Structure 1
Amino acid sequence: MFSSAASLPGFDSPIELLLACHEKVRRFAGLCQRLEQHATLHGADEDAQAAAASVLRYFQIAAPLHHADEEEDLFPALRELGDASLTARIDELDAEHGHLAELWCCLQPWLEALSQGASHPAPPELSAFATRYPEHALREEHEVYPAAVRLSRERLAGIGLRMAQRRGAR
């Protein structure tokens, strides 16, 4: 009911890897909403516990790495292009990372409890989290990521290398 695993592009394709992460953001944000409905009907059963654990894993490990990929590597590289309009959009999206982190802090205790078998009502921030995170990803995909074609192959390779290092892959 709550699972699926897809293979990701390699670090030699950093933008494609970031886009694949956005697919996971959409999947796990949607899972949060389905999990709330499931837990309301079935409590913290095995399916709910497993789903909560997978959401926790993604947003505690992968999402912070993804944000670091953007904030420490991609966004600075794109800012260097000197495009004022692009930089303004990047600044807005960069700031949204903080708001998304605040929403996550509201959800995390509920998911931790659920993963341990305790069923409590979901926090009111769940809806905003499940909506805003995918909207944020979509904005990045439409407003910022396309500019990456203006980066040199070397710069993209460096971003991919740093992404791999961040994950201990190189």
Structure 2
Amino acid sequence: MPSPLPLPARTARPQPVSPRIDDPIALLRACHEKVVRFTQLAQRLQAHVAEHGADAQAREAATAVLRYFTLAAPLHHADEDENLFVALRALGHADVNARIDALQQEHDTLGALWLPVRAWLAHIAEGQTPPHGSPDGSPDVDGFATRYRAHVAQEEASVYPHAAELPAPVLRALADAMVARRSPPQD
């Protein structure tokens, strides 16, 4: 009996964000919800592949996880690193700035943890048996997923609440940067 791998809602590519964003922090939190869903899907996929191999369900799930973490997650990290965290640093809270330093370093760590997971998912998306490492050929998917979800929780608990201190023009600038990052280049 095939194991169910329900997929999160998907699109062919990241869609441009409406230019009428009025709550960029809510959009960043929505991205965190997707991180949770896609890391959970990667973990379910690991068990599915161990039992069923790179079947059609596995290929579809692997493609969805790859798409999210290859296209959307880097945009989200840029939203934080280049805009939100810069604005929050300007508030001058030493404790928040120290947490931001740690979170930005964690972005690099998550990027490094992603690389072997990405390679594993690419094999599955192509219908290939993943290379062997662990018994099912997968990298530390659980470690990647757990660390990413802990990172998201830390951002939301210790840094995002301070966005309420940002003035409206700064939030508008954050929203504009998010829209520009996701919009096709203008000729």
Provide the aligned length of Structure 1 versus Structure 2: 169
RMSD: 1.7
Q: Pairwise mapping of residues 115-134 of structure 1 onto structure 2 (< 5 A)?
A: 115-120=125-130, 121-134=136-149
| Contact 1:71–1:94 (CA under 8 A) maintained in structure 2 | yes
Q: 2:89 aligns with which of 68, 75, 79?
A: 79
Structure 1 unmatched runs, 5+: none
| Contact 2:49–2:58 (CA under 8 A) maintained in structure 1 | yes
Aligned partner of 1:19 in structure 2 is 29
Partner of 1:138: 153
Gaps of 5+ in 2: 11-16, 131-135
| Contact 2:8–2:37, Cα closer than 8 Å, also in 1 | no
Name the residue aligned to 1:68.
Answer: 78
Please give the TM-score of this superposition, normalised by the length of structure 2. Answer: 0.86
Residue aligning to 2:14? none
- How far does the alpha carbon of each residue in 1:65-115 deviate from its partner, in whole angstroms, 9 at most, with x for none? 000000000000000000000000010011000000000011111100100
Bigger Rg over Cα = 2
Cα distance, 1:3 vs structure 2: 1.5
* 2:12 is equivalent to residue 2 of structure 1: no
Distance 1:34 1:40 in 2: 10
| C-alpha distance after superposition, 1:40-67 (max 9, x if no partner) | 1111011000000000000000000000
Identity among equivalent pairs (%) = 47
User: Residue 161 of structure 1 is aligned with which of 151, 166, 176?
Assistant: 176
What is the CA-CA distance between 1:122 and the residue it aligns to? 4.0
1:101-112 superposed matches below 5 A = 101-112=111-122
Deviates further, 113-122 or 28-37:
113-122
**What is the rounded CA distance, in whole Å, between the counterparts of 2:46 and 2:7 in structure 1?**
16
1:95 aligns with 2:105: yes
